[in-house]
Amino acid sequence: MTDFCINGRFLTQPISGVQRVARQLCRALARSPAKDSFSLVIPPGAEAEADRIGLSFEIVGGASDTLLGGILWENRALAKAARGRYLINLTNRFPVALKRGAVLIHDAHVFDLPSTYKPVFGFFYRSLYRLAVTRGLDLVTVSEFSRARLSQALGIDSDRWTIIKSGIDHILEPEPDFSVLQRFGLVPEGYLLTVGALSGHKNLAALKLLARGLAEQGHELVAVGDMSPAVYAGADLGEGLKHVGQVSDGALRALMENARCFVFPSQYEGFGLPPLEAMALGCPVATSDIAPLREACGEACIFFDPDDPEDIAERVLALSNDEAQRLHLGNAGREVTRNLTWDHSAKKWLDLLSVASKSSRVLRSNSHST
């Protein structure tokens, strides 16, 4: 039996930022010398996805393809399978009875912007995060900003948290799928790109003025992301944006590489994966002037006030029309993101787990001697 098991329910969920982090981290663990210490615990139906990860896996329980089914699976089948082992949870969730393990909590969004969640979701996650503290689980997050906000919201010392930044080199893996341009009638450098799901804090409505200004110059503003309402309260999708929905990784790479620039008006992030992905591909970025994005992007992008549509339009249009600035930011972005790799993230996790690994070996040794 492996020392560590990983909550693999994310393999049955649609891929958003949280699920992408879990998948890429597990793939990096599968490339590490310690891969045999890990096992994915998955629901039935996730076998094909688990095969693509590369770690060994265990199939337990029944279906988990609904919210209630997922909660029941985590708290019954997963909890039973993990008993006696250290359980790693990478998508904010864990079994409520868990006493030994780690949970990766990406941000304090449910505390800082509760109105953007449906009430039942907000209550559930706030209660779960408090339980992680009282259970004494190992707490992991993705940035200094998230550590500070979560510590304050949960009333704990910031030393309880380990910061492990996400990698972004996954965006370099797929071959660009240029057919996406033809499919949506896009011309290279004839559009600007944004990425955001249906969520109020993604702030797509603030791009209306920018979209009108771009249209006057013969350019489009293209939005990639899930537009189906599920968890978040209703949000304004924004007028003038060309919504293309969710696309493959190869298509997203092609869209980023051929955009005049990437604009990210989010009012709240824990880390800020999309602008960093664009930067890694040499796409110049304009993004919100908020603490986590300042932390992540440094000086390799243009910042604007996400609450001021006129400031967004003015600064982004200026960048779009400045070829020298776009070239400079494209090169700077590649440099800033050079060391944000998933193998580095996996190494940080292995460092965190080393104490637990030693403890597991002691326990096994004691059990064998009795």
DSSP one-letter string for 71-129:
HHHIIIIIHHHHTTSEEEE-SS---TT--SEEEE----HHHH-GGGB-HHHHHHHHHHH
Q: Which residues contact 182 (CB under 8 A, 6 or more apart)?
A: none
Choose among 34, 29, 38: nearest CA to 2.
Answer: 38
The tokens of 24 are what?
Answer: 């890429």
Distance CA 150, CA 287 (A): 23
Q: What is the pLDDT of residue 136?
A: 94
Contacts of 213-217 with C-beta under 8 Å, sequence gap 24+, read 213/313, 213/317, 214/317, 214/320, 215/240, 217/317, 217/320, 217/321
Give 361: exposed, middle or buried? Use CB within 10 Å, 0-12, 13-18, 19+: exposed
Q: What is the pLDDT of residue 313?
A: 97
Q: What is the pLDDT of residue 368?
A: 38
How confident is the prediction along the chain (370 residues), in pLDDT tens digits per residue?
A: 568 999 999 999 888 889 999 999 999 999 999 999 999 999 999 999 999 999 999 999 877 666 677 889 999 999 999 998 999 999 999 999 999 999 999 999 999 989 878 899 899 999 999 999 999 999 999 999 999 999 999 999 999 999 999 999 999 999 999 999 999 999 999 999 999 876 678 889 899 999 999 999 999 999 998 765 443 344 445 557 899 998 999 999 999 999 999 999 999 999 999 999 999 999 999 999 999 999 999 999 999 999 999 999 999 999 999 999 999 999 999 999 999 999 999 999 999 998 766 654 533 333 333 3
Distance CA 343, CA 227 (A): 32
At residue 224, φ and ψ (nearest 5 deg) are -105, 135
The tokens of 14 are what?
Answer: 């649609």
